[in-house]
Amino acid sequence: MNSDSKKQYVVAVVGATGAVGEEMIKTLAQRSFPVKALVPLASSRSAGSSVEFGGKDWRVSQLTENSFAGVDIALFSAGATRSLEFAPAAVRAGAVVVDNSSAFRMDPTVPLVVPEVNPHAIARHKGIIANPNCSTIQMVVALKPLHDEAGIKRIVVSTYQSVSGAGKSAIEELAKQTTALMSMQEVEPKKFQWQIAFNCIPQIDSFLENGYTKEEEKMVNETKKIMEDDSIKVCATTVRVPVFFSHGESVNLEFARPISPDRAREILARAPGVEVVDDPAHGLYPMAITAAGKDASFVGRIRADRTVEHGLNMWIVSDNIRKGAALNAVQIAEKLIV
For 87-126, the pLDDT digits (tens) are 999 999 999 999 999 999 999 999 999 999 999 999 999 9
For 76-90, the pLDDT digits (tens) are 998 999 999 999 999
The pLDDT of residue 58 is: 97
pLDDT at 3 over 60: no
Catalytic residue at 235? Answer: no
The pLDDT of residue 6 is: 77
For 236-252, the pLDDT digits (tens) are 999 999 999 999 999 99
What is the dotted CATH code of the domain comprising 136-320?
3.30.360.10
Residues of each domain in the chain carrying CATH 3.30.360.10:
136-320
CATH fold of 9-131+325-336: Rossmann fold (3.40.50)
Q: Where residue 303 falls among pLDDT bands split at 50, 70, 90?
A: very high
Query: Which of 125, 147, 247, 310 does the annotation list as catalytic?
Result: 247
Residues of each domain in the chain carrying CATH 3.40.50.720:
9-131+325-336
The pLDDT of residue 197 is: 98
| Number of Cβ within a 10 Å radius of residue 166 | 19
The pLDDT of residue 5 is: 57
Query: Which of 134, 200, 282, 310 does the annotation list as catalytic?
Result: 134
Q: Where residue 23 falls among pLDDT bands split at 50, 70, 90?
A: very high
Catalytic residue at 120? Answer: no
For 184-235, the pLDDT digits (tens) are 999 999 999 999 999 999 999 999 999 999 999 999 999 999 999 999 999 9
Q: What is the reported pTM?
A: 0.95
